[in-house]
Structure 1
């Protein structure tokens, strides 16, 4: 069984400030700021992956992100400028840190890029869905509504890539019985919903997932079965699944 894709090393994962933008926008200008920042991050990080990724699926995904988000960014700018709103022209500090870490990391780029894209798309879907429902500007609200399906398609694509083996990458660390890996589960802002957390744990080969609750460190914890063994399971914000004998 091939391992699942994960950040290539803990050092890179710790150093990279994955983009964790606040997910709601209270005004049209705030939506433009956050949507533009996220869109630029998608494009700039994908340009790096297009050139440095070793896996063909990752490269193809990066190319699609450059095309799709490039077009969406241009459309957002046109609407915002017509509404006399300011459009950011550069990455924000967090986005720049993410891109710099991706560009300068010593590990293969595939794993860090995939994890960045998973987080960025989870944030983008929530931002756009929220504004599509409650936005205060009709034109931007329509743009958000039209863009949500594409973002969800991207999210499905990157989740599929994350569950396959990729050159230079390693999968989410899963341990059943004995002593779990001493590093995961990692504390951090967790964007997985309960259903998504259950799905990720099931993808790691577990069944009968139950009693899932998210603790104050952002870690989903519950119970599950694998290979006939009952286990306590944990899922952190990076997708690491860790289990031990119950």
Structure 2
């Protein structure tokens, strides 16, 4: 009888625990916005460097496009995060500097910048495609979907520049 009583208590405890609503915060939206913000700031910072240091006019123009497009995207992202009540850490919203190797690349700047932009934009497109299809927050998902054509255009442009430089 005592074993039955303990069993009933344990079973009831499990049922009671299962009935308590568990919070389901969409941490993926915050994570996505943090990653996207860092990527935007990296693109702006590296783009500014490309405008200053690139020798190839196509690379310079691409750098200008990065500064403009990713600067605009960052403003939209910050407004979106604020509207969703998502606080982004300071590390994700400012003070991002370009890679030191890139900053001190000298004559190899164009080659290193283009290589970094190709791999970086492949990764960024993948991250945005993933959230655009599986994201939980509808407004953040719409942002990812809105940005995808721009990011894919960047990837296409930098791949074309990469082919010209080879």
Is the CA contact (8 Å cut-off) linking 2:121 and 2:155 kept in structure 1? Answer: yes
Return the offset for 1:91.
Answer: 5.6
What is the correspondence of 1:84-95 to structure 2 with a 5 Å cutoff? Answer: 84-87=85-88, 88-90=92-94
Structure 2 residue 143 is matched with structure 1 residue 143: yes
Please give the alpha-carbon distance, in whole angstroms, between the structure 2 residues aligned to 1:164 and 1:81: 41
Answer whether contact 2:105 2:112 (CA < 8 A) is retained.
no
Q: How has the CA–CA distance of structure 1 residues 47 and 90 changed in structure 2, closer, same or farther, with 3 Å as cutoff?
A: same
Unaligned runs of 5+ in 1: 1-24, 166-170, 172-246
**Is 1:101 matched with 2:101?**
yes
Whether 2:129 is the aligned partner of 1:125: answer no
List structure 1 runs of 4+ shifted beyond 4 angstroms.
Answer: none
SS in structure 2 at match of 1:109: helix
Structure with a larger share of its residues in helix: 2
The residue correspondences of 1:1-246 to structure 2 (distance < 5 A) are 27-87=28-88, 88-90=92-94, 96=97, 99-165=99-165, 171=166
Q: 1:99 offset after TM fit, Å?
A: 2.2
> How far apart are residue 89 of structure 1 and its match?
1.7
User: Which structure's CA Rg is the greater one?
Assistant: 2
Gaps of 5+ in 2: 1-25
Partner Cα separation in structure 2 for residue 32 and residue 91 of structure 1 = 17
Aligned-partner Cα distance in 1 for 2:108–2:52: 12
Relative to the length of structure 1, the TM-score reads 0.53
Alignment partner of 1:54: what SS?
coil
Secondary structure of 2:113's aligned partner? helix
The number of residues matched between the two structures is: 138
Task: Give the deviation of 1:57 after TM superposition.
Answer: 0.6
Higher strand share: 1
Deviation string, structure 1 residues 81-121 (Cα, Å, up to 9, x no partner): 111112322366xxx4x522211223331011001110110
The TM-score with structure 2 as length reference comes to: 0.78
